[in-house]
């Protein structure tokens, strides 16, 4: 009985570890870890959208389902390498990804070569928390701005 229980737990753990990068922000998205996303962006030439959140954060738990259910964000996500950083994921706690503090949730946009663009801030957001997105509409406007900035840079 114990062996059977352990086998079931191992299978459940493997299923959760495989393909569960949505972590409350949507399983329909093509999520990458930070390390994988940096490589994928260089290979594809797409900019990175870096979503940072914590498992214990109340605002993250509220915003995640709104983000996950937005068909507009999902469609526009095809133009980005989507990186989902939660808790202590490798590399995500670097000061590079906290340009104005460690609050969460936070969304940053990076060029295809992995450089954070600190000029792409939450449209209509709080100047104290410049990368704090709290609505799908803000995210879409931020994505639009990022695409304009990064496509413009490619044309130079």
* Residue 152, pLDDT score: 77
Residue indicated by tokens 């290979």: 43
* Residue 85, pLDDT score: 95
* Residue 57, pLDDT score: 93
- Integer Cα distance of 76 and 73 in angstroms: 5
From residue 32, alpha-carbon distances to 123, 148, 149 in Å are 25, 23, 22
From residue 42, alpha-carbon distances to 53, 62, 83, 106, 130 in Å are 24, 32, 14, 23, 26
Q: What is the pTM of this model?
A: 0.84
Torsion of CA 31, 151, 126, 52, to 10 degrees: 20
Q: Are 107 and 135 in contact (CB under 8 A)?
A: no
pLDDT, block means (10 residues), the chain with 156 residues: 37 42 91 96 97 93 95 97 93 92 94 96 93 95 97 63
Three-state SS at 143? helix
Q: Is the link from the previous residue into 151 a cis peptide, with omega within 30 of 0? A: no
* Residue 23, pLDDT score: 87
- Please enumerate, as own/partner, the contacts of 93-101 that have beta carbons within 8 Å and a separation of 24 or more: 97/50, 97/52, 99/130, 99/131, 100/128, 100/129, 100/130, 100/131, 101/129
* Residue 153, pLDDT score: 62
- Integer Cα distance of 53 and 131 in angstroms: 12
- Integer Cα distance of 127 and 78 in angstroms: 29
* Residue 4, pLDDT score: 41
* Residue 88, pLDDT score: 84
* Residue 51, pLDDT score: 96
* Residue 59, pLDDT score: 92
Tens digits of residue pLDDT in 52-83: 999 999 999 999 999 999 999 999 999 999 99
């Amino acid at each position: 009985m114990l062996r059977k229980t352990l086998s079931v737990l191992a299978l459940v753990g493997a299923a959760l570890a495989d393909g569960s990068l949505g972590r409350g922000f949507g399983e329909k998205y093509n999520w990458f870890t930070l390390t994988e996303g940096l490589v994928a962006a260089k290979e594809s030439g797409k900019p990175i959208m870096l979503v940072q959140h914590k498992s214990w954060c109340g605002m993250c738990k509220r915003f995640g389902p709104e983000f996950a259910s937005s068909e507009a964000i999902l469609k526009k996500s095809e133009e980005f390498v989507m990186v989902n950083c939660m808790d202590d994921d490798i590399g995500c706690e670097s000061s590079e990804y906290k340009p104005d503090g460690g609050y969460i949730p936070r969304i940053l946009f990076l060029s295809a070569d992995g450089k954070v663009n600190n000029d792409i801030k939450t449209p209509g957001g709080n100047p104290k928390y410049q990368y704090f997105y709290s609505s799908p509409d803000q995210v879409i406007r931020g994505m639009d701005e990022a695409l304009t900035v990064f496509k413009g840079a490619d044309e130079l």
